[in-house]
Amino acid sequence: LDVSSRMTVLGQLWLRALIQLGGIGIVTRAALAAAALGRRTSLEVEEAAAGPTSLMPEGGAGALVRSVVRVTLAIEAIGAVLLWLIWRDTLGNAGAVWPAVFHAISAFCNAGFSTFRDNFAGQAGSLPTLAVVSLLIIAGGLGFLVFEDLQARLRGRRRRVTLHTRVVLIATALLIAGATPLYLFFEWDHTLASHGFVERVANAAFMAVTPRTAGFNTVDYEQISNPSLLLTLALMWIGGSPGSTAGGVKTTTAALLALLFLARLRGRDTVSFANRSVPDATVQRAVGLAVGGILLLFTFVFALLFTEIPSGSVVTDRESFVHLVFEAQSALGTVGLSMNKTADLSSPGRVLIAMLMFLGRVGPLAALEAMARRSRRKQPYRLGREDVLVG
């Protein structure tokens, strides 16, 4: 549905409320899950003191919710003011208020809904708009624990930031810095051909930010090149960071998988980074989440092939297959991007996509909380070991 023309003002207010409540609720729940995972025995107090759990506000769940709301509203208010200042010349002082507030919330909560008919395609030439929205998306995707850690460091309550914060910041920077030149190269003479040099760079950077997992677009994703399509699928799969408003398997999961691969290449038994070793249980959780994400995507794409492609064409219709893979990965990562396929889905297909969005948003948290419960139930025995060849 076109939000700008098909939704009334009341409908847009309700949509904004759902986006806001969903963002705050999911961040709070993720922080509580991190706290549950951080509980360790007394013999491991040193690790617990240096981990994300130590960043939780004192006062229990109530203090946590208040802190999340305070940080969220502060960042959204700053973003809304900046967008209002940018848009007031074209939309008017009063006319720019609602779009500024709506898009600030939608960007920080990584929702991707827009009150503009063409999403952000009409803003492709506005570099300040792209910069502010990109920063809001990045801020929403970093996670509450990162903000708490950085505040503690700036106030002198910590001598160094946690390993979690380092991994999140470095992984986020590498993903954006690595994807931007790739999009610029692949789309230079394609979807970005009508822009000047600076605008091409800005839009390429926006394309690197928005798949993780905001869903705004300045280009038609049905028209992007195949390499850009594959890159977008990868970014949607990774998503944002733990304790954030973003979806995906998370930047820390992707980082730990890369570090695990490097450790095995070097013949090391433990995964380490920044002079710190990562607990084996954490690495195993990362592997479990990644495998679960892949299996979930495979299962739903397989189901969509039979609900969306006629039986006579299911074997040969490659174009629809690519569209469905993109649609399913966008749903799993709660991204919101589409190759113009969503409106054409059948009723069973829409139900499958809705289920996939729900599982992609709450599934990882549910899995982590289940792992936390299992980890506190120590088995009094271990089965005998027997090796299996791999590779």
59-91 burial string, b = 16+ CB within 10 Å, else e? eeeeebbebbeebbeebbebbbebbbebbeeee
Task: Judge contact between 91 and 123, C-beta under 8 A.
Answer: no
Rounded to 10 degrees, the C-alpha dihedral 338/344/346/349 comes to -10
Single pTM value for the model: 0.87
Report d(CA 44, CA 25) in Å as an integer: 30
How many Cα atoms sit within 13 Å of 271 on the Cβ side?
21
Helix ranges, 188-225 (H): 197-209
Helix (H, G, I), strand (E, B) or coil at 155: coil
Report d(CA 179, CA 237) in Å as an integer: 14
Q: pLDDT per residue over 115-141, tens digit each?
A: 998 889 999 999 999 999 999 999 999
- Residue 385 DSSP one-character state: P
Q: pLDDT per residue over 155-201, tens digit each?
A: 877 778 889 999 999 999 999 999 999 999 999 999 999 999 999 99
Its sign, for the CA torsion 194, 200, 202, 207, is positive
Report d(CA 374, CA 34) in Å as an integer: 14
- Residue 383 DSSP one-character state: P
How many Cα atoms sit within 13 Å of 267 on the Cβ side?
0
Q: pLDDT per residue over 293-347, tens digit each?
A: 899 999 999 999 989 888 777 667 788 899 999 999 999 998 989 998 888 899 9
Between helices 97-108 and 127-142, what is the axis angle to 10°? 40
pLDDT at 183: 96
Q: What is the mean pLDDT of residues 361-379?
A: 67
- Lowest-pLDDT range of 16-30, 192-206, 254-268: 16-30
Report d(CA 124, CA 158) in Å as an integer: 41
